[in-house]
């Protein structure tokens, strides 16, 4: 192996000839090369001859001794052309996706630049290529419709440090190569063109459940595939004019949407559109588009090139909220492509089939609301988490959503039959008839259950022994309010105020917050609404606030009341908005993530000062003010004797309490099912807390997923809880359960179980339900 930067005058090529050593200089850029590639396309010759001329031109342009093209054929990456490696290896060297450095680039669809490739652990030596004398490597995926169809690689003998400009240049060339392959300009061979087409075989994919439910329908692509027929520009000034005109048209469209928002969208979409407007007027983004055109691309190809860079950046970012901001920019690029194609309107939303299943890489909440809710049956996302905005809105609309289904868009075509099983986080594409029949039977049973729950809407939430149970719903967006009437719930037990902050491009002002809270209170009427103050920080980072520092464990980090007590102005503005919104009405305020009594006292003092401020200004105050705390941190339970005299109510946050009680990250895939909510320790702890609150005469409610499942809700009633807050979709099943339950009998049964050494009490509780006719 050679080291350093010493270069031989004429290194030997693997085929015995002499390789010409290019002069080290700054790469000239892709513009001249794109012009030469267009000439190569017009020349005669076989696919091997034409590809050979292509790689020679690339090697010269990139100042590299080696340039190679690998194309995906029959699940293998086949060496199709090379300049610098042994020519006898062409069509003989093959790599599996994931094998070697080339396979790694294909597997992850991302560039790789190495000054010493042979020391990389993924390096796979292929002796027939003669590449052992080449140290540095730069490779990029060849992408078509965001599917990897090959890899483009350049190599140098020296340990060369490639720069970002070289990566961008090679990516631009790879994009042009992809169009040449797809259009048949290089191949003339159907099996090579076929690598750009989606398969037609049935397949199943797993993901993450973002919104439960079941749907059978037809694939609709949220991002319509806009094929760019021409990538290399004939007239660069003309392409700039086309780009500027399309940008102006797109900006006008976004501005018009803001001036006349759809009255049915109730405000959240306007906030997201403000974000689009901010990006649409971003000078940096426009400058990148102009630079891509300057390199020799058409306006459409320039948008695709910059969009590809955005998607590459998205892959490297772990922060879900920064990724959502980049997803907004990604969506904006799709809108711009539509304007360049003369189709400024989203045809997918306009021509929706009656049983549409929407597939997208990522979506914002306003985009989901663009679709006809009567026709939209389900959503499948390649990205997305349970706290993503689109998941929150989908749950409010009872639309099943599965996220994290990587690569699914590359494997489907519009019109394919698809099954979305949100309950089990599975997607079935082009399923066999017997699979469809099985799911249709499940869907019919589900719809019958929903009809039964709707018919029981007016039935009181009273157990067989006459115990009155208060069923409340969780909410966080204005579109959730309709569920109050649909379910006939007793009120809103948890209103997550942070969701209004998360769907906005900037911090909402006091006036905007006041308007939202007033609308919620007015809609609820006499039914109570418990407003939880901001629970941000940790994994819920507001895009306009940014992270202060990285946290090893965000769930136990600087979040919720810890953050707002450190930033009292943020909390004071929110409390002021709540107080003014509840003028002359009852107001219920709850502080999250309280770990000790002193934190509650400090937050309560801020609230009391805002009340005094209104009094001093002779402004109306709430008719009644109730102040409570979330019990999520186990440490607070041991201070209940000191806390309970200070609060009006307690709400148990079962989600965080569960992970803190067991020191178990609820988002960790290896720990997700390790501990059961129906364990003796969890139920025993809750039983003790309920008894403490009952002795002090303070109402206690459980908010969280634990109260939304009938068997868990049954256990909660058995340990003494009489107030549950849950997603609106859970009210029907839980009400049906409690109306078949005798609470004293269950309480007696459970009294002997709290000290059990078993991992879980689920089996015993299910047996009790069967023997006593409880519907779970």
Q: Measure the CA–CA gap between 242 and 581, rounded to whole angstroms.
A: 49
Exactly one of 135, 389, 588, 687 is catalytic; which is it? 389
Q: Where are the alpha helices (DSSP H) in 156-260?
A: 164-183, 190-193, 236-259
Burial code (b: 16+ CB inside 10 Å, e: under 16) for 137-166 equals bbbbbbbbbbbbbbbbbbbbbbbbebeeeb
Residue pointed to by tokens 């906030």:
271
Return the closest-CA partner of residue 197 out of 210, 187, 211, 212.
187
Q: Measure the CA–CA gap between 68 and 81, rounded to whole angstroms.
A: 6
Q: For residue 618, what is the DSSP state?
A: T
Return the closest-CA partner of residue 141 out of 176, 174, 184, 100.
174
Alpha carbon distance, N-terminus to C-terminus of the chain: 69
Beta bridge partners of 599: none
* Contact by Cβ (8 Å): 703, 474: yes
Residue pointed to by tokens 């350093």:
4
Q: Measure the CA–CA gap between 644 and 693, rounded to whole angstroms.
A: 7
Exactly one of 67, 588, 693, 703 is catalytic; which is it? 703
Return the closest-CA partner of residue 527 out of 618, 588, 600, 581.
588
What the block records as the tokens of 245 is 């005109």
| Residue 703 annotated as catalytic | yes
Task: List, edge to edge, every strand of the sheet that includes 112-114.
Answer: 94-96, 76-83, 66-73, 147-156, 136-144, 112-114
Burial code (b: 16+ CB inside 10 Å, e: under 16) for 202-231 equals eeebebbbbbbbbbbbbbbbbbbeeebeeb
What element of type H or E holds 104? helix 100-108
Active-site positions?
389, 703
């Amino acid at each position: 192996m050679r080291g350093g930067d010493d270069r031989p005058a004429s290194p030997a090529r693997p085929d015995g000839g002499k390789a010409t050593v290019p002069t080290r200089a700054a790469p000239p850029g892709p513009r001249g090369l794109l012009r030469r590639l267009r000439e190569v396309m017009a020349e005669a010759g076989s696919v091997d001859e034409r590809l050979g001329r292509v790689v020679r031109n690339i090697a010269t342009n990139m100042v590299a001794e080696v340039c190679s093209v690998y194309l995906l054929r029959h699940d293998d990456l086949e060496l199709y052309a090379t300049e610098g490696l042994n020519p006898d290896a062409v069509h003989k060297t093959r790599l599996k996706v994931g094998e070697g450095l080339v396979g790694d680039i294909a597997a992850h669809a991302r560039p790789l630049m190495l000054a010493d490739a042979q020391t990389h652990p993924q390096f796979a030596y292929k002796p027939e290529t003669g590449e052992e004398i080449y140290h540095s490597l730069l490779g990029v995926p060849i992408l078509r419709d965001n599917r990897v169809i090959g890899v483009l690689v350049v190599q140098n003998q020296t340990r060369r440090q490639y720069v970002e400009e070289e990566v961008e240049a090679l990516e631009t060339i790879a994009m042009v190569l992809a169009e040449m392959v797809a259009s048949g300009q290089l191949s003339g061979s159907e099996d090579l063109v076929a690598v750009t087409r989606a398969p037609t075989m049935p397949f199943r994919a797993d993901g993450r459940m973002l919104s439960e439910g079941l749907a059978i329908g037809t694939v609709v692509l949220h991002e319509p595939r806009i094929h760019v027929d021409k990538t290399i520009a004939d007239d660069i000034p003309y392409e700039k004019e086309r780009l500027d005109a399309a940008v102006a048209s797109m900006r006008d469209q976004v501005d018009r949407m803001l001036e006349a928002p759809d009255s049915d969208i109730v405000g959240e979409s306007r906030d997201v559109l403000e974000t689009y407007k901010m990006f649409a007027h971003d000078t940096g983004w426009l400058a990148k588009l102009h630079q891509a055109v300057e390199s020799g691309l058409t306006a459409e190809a320039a948008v695709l090139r910059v969009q590809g860079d955005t998607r590459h950046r998205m892959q490297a970012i772990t922060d879900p909220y920064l990724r959502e901001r980049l997803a907004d920019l990604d969506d904006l690029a799709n809108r711009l492509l539509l304007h360049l194609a003369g189709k400024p309107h989203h045809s997918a939303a306009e021509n929706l089939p009656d049983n549409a299943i929407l597939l997208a890489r990522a979506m914002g909440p306003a985009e989901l609301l663009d679709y006809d809710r009567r026709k939209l049956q389900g959503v499948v996302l390649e990205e997305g988490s349970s706290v993503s905005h689109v998941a929150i809105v989908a749950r409010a609309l009872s639309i099943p959503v599965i996220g994290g289904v990587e690569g699914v868009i590359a494997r489907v075509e519009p019109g394919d039959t698809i099954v979305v099983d949100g309950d089990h986080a599975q997607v079935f594409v082009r399923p066999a008839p017997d699979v469809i029949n099985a799911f249709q039977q499940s869907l019919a049973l589900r719809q019958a259950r929903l009809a039964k729950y709707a018919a029981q809407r007016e039935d009181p939430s009273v157990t067989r022994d006459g115990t009155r149970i208060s069923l409340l719903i969780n909410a966080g967006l204005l579109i959730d309010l309709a569920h109050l009437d649909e379910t006939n719930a007793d009120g809103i037990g948890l209103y997550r105020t942070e969701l209004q902050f998360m769907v906005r491009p900037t911090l909402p002002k006091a006036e905007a917050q006041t308007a939202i809270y007033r609308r919620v209170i007015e809609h609820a009427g006499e039914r109570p609404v418990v407003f939880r103050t901001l629970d941000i920080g940790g994994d819920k980072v507001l895009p306009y606030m940014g992270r202060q520092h990285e946290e090893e464990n965000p769930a136990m980090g600087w979040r919720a009341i810890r953050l707002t007590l450190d930033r009292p102005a943020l909390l004071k503005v929110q409390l002021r908005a709540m107080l003014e919104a509840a003028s002359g009405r009852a107001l219920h305020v709850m502080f999250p993530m309280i770990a000790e009594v002193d934190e509650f006292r400090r937050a309560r003092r801020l609230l009391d000062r805002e009340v005094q401020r209104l009094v001093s200004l002779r402004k109306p105050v709430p008719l009644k003010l109730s102040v409570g705390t979330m019990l999520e941190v186990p440490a607070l339970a041991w201070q209940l004797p000191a806390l309970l005299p200070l609060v009006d109510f307690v709400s148990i946050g079962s989600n965080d309490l569960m992970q803190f009680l067991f020191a178990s990250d609820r988002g960790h895939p290896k720990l997700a099912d390790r501990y059961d909510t129906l364990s003796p320790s969890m139920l025993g702890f809750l039983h003790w807390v309920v008894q403490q609150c009952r002795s002090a005469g303070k109402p206690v409610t459980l908010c969280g997923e634990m109260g939304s499942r009938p068997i868990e809700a049954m256990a909660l009633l058995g340990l003494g809880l009489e107030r549950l807050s849950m997603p609106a979709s859970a009210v029907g099943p839980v009400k049906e359960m409690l109306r078949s339950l005798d609470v004293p009998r269950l309480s007696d049964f459970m009294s002997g179980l709290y000290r059990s050494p078993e991992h879980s009490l689920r089996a015993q509780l299910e047996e009790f339900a069967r023997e006593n006719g409880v519907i779970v």
